[in-house]
Amino acid sequence: MIYFDKVSKVYSDTSIALEDVSFAIDQGEFVSIVGQSGAGKTTLLKLFLAEEKPTSGSVFFESLDVHSLRRRDIHKLRKKIGVVFQDFRLLHTKTAYENIAFAMQAAGKTDEDIKENVPQVLEVVGLLEKSFHFPSELSGGERQRVAIARAIVNRPDVIIADEPTGNLDPLNVQEIMGLFKKINELDTTVILTTHNKDIINSLGKRVITLEKGRVARDDKKGKYVI
């Protein structure tokens, strides 16, 4: 499904972000990507999302070379990917319902689809009763759950969770990770980046460890080893 083939990324200041990185991720996998700051995690995600181009090598998604796509086709590609960020990135002037509806509108969904699907995903993340609360009226954990609902509402094939629990307390961390597990059980591929050792060790899922831009480890049932 996703394949990095000997990918390297060198920035204009000659700093090497990734060097000869190769790995494949199958449909329905839950994969954690770990590494110290500067190991290349963010660059790897940007390459997959076609936000940046590799210096050498290729990135494939469903047999398509991501960086050979035309701009309009990149937009189609990104419709198949949901992204959850550490800082939520919600629209503060819109309610929880409106934030999710906005993502559907951007994807060209009809009003009927929006009315049907937004309440469904709010129920999945346990926030149906807070549909019309603004982000300022929600806790950090609740805001992240809205962000997850927004990411899954268009039924993407892949969810990228980039440090999604970095701003949350331990109880909310458990709840958020429970949601990602539930999403993964529905055969959605989940790619998680995190510095949280306890999360990685409790998942018992595949772990790819980056060190200085290279894949140092790739374990099917890995631990946080850096």
CA atoms within 13 A on the CB side of 131: 13
pLDDT tens for each residue of 57-97: 999 999 899 999 998 899 888 999 999 998 999 999 999 99
Report which DSSP code applies to 179.
H
pLDDT tens for each residue of 148-198: 999 999 999 999 999 999 888 888 999 999 999 999 999 999 999 998 899
Task: Please name the amino acid found at residue 41.
Answer: K
Residue-level pLDDT at 167: 84
Task: Please name the amino acid found at residue 143.
Answer: R
pLDDT tens for each residue of 124-149: 999 999 999 999 999 999 999 999 99
Q: What is the pTM of this model?
A: 0.94
Residue-level pLDDT at 208: 97
Residue 43 has pLDDT above 80, yes or no: yes
Domains of the chain: 1-80+191-226 (3.40.50.300)
Beta bridge partners of 207: 32, 219
